Structures are given as C-alpha cells and as structure tokens.
Amino acid sequence: MEPQGKGAQGRFIPTMGALHAGHLSLVDRSKAETDSTIVSIFVNPRQFNDQEDLRKYPRPIEQDLRMLYESGVDVLFLPEIEDVYPAGDNNKIDFDPGLAANTMEGKFRQAILKAWRKSYTGF
C-alpha cells in the first residue's frame, strides 16, 4: 500500500469472517470510493448469548484470507480478544439500544448491540 498524504480517505469494514458476496461488495465499493480499504475479522464472543452458538460459528480463515487477497484489500486487521478487551479494562457497557434490541440480530442475540458498541469504539 502506498503511503497516503493529507486528505487521503480510507474505509474500515468490520466483519466476523465467514465472508460472502455481501462482504466483498463492501470491499469493491470501498476500493472504488476511497484510497484504502481495511477489513477486520474478529469473532466477538460478547455478541453471543449462547456459548454453543459461539462454538459453532464458522471460522474459514484460509478461505477468508484468499477472498480478501484476491479482492485487493489494503490492510487486514486480525485482532486477538486481548486486543479488543485488554485485561483490566472496564468492559461494562451501559446504554439503551432502544427498538434495535427487538429487531434483526438484537432479537436473537441481545448481547450483540452492546458488544458492537464496545468493540468498535475500542479500535
């Protein structure tokens, strides 16, 4: 990736991996509209109410890496849990997700909205 000067724009695309055409369309759009594209893959354990759901979540990392490489992503960020939730960090989140708590992912994984807010404000 070439160094970018003042005014350069980039886009960050957070994912939990198991990439598909929808993810790649975000990458394509970013590459067309910005100077650099950064993708993260982080399966956030705090987004799962059920530990069995977390255990079963697909993690085809080799396939994901190949897809991102072939799509021309500039930077891949693969944080470990300690990078997102450092030891001693106050991980308590207090906010009301409002109507979102009962729709889409919030309907099935109540912890997801709080986990998103915590993990993505930490980057």
**Residues with catalytic annotation?**
23
Amino acid making up residue 119: S
What single string gives the DSSP state of each residue in the chain? Answer: -----TT--EEEEEE-S---HHHHHHHHHHHHHSSEEEEEE---GGG-SSHHHHHHS---HHHHHHHHHHHT-SEEE---HHHHS-TT---------GGGGGSHHHHH-TTHHHHHHHHHH--
Asked whether the beta carbons of 40 and 14 are under 8 A apart, the reply is: yes
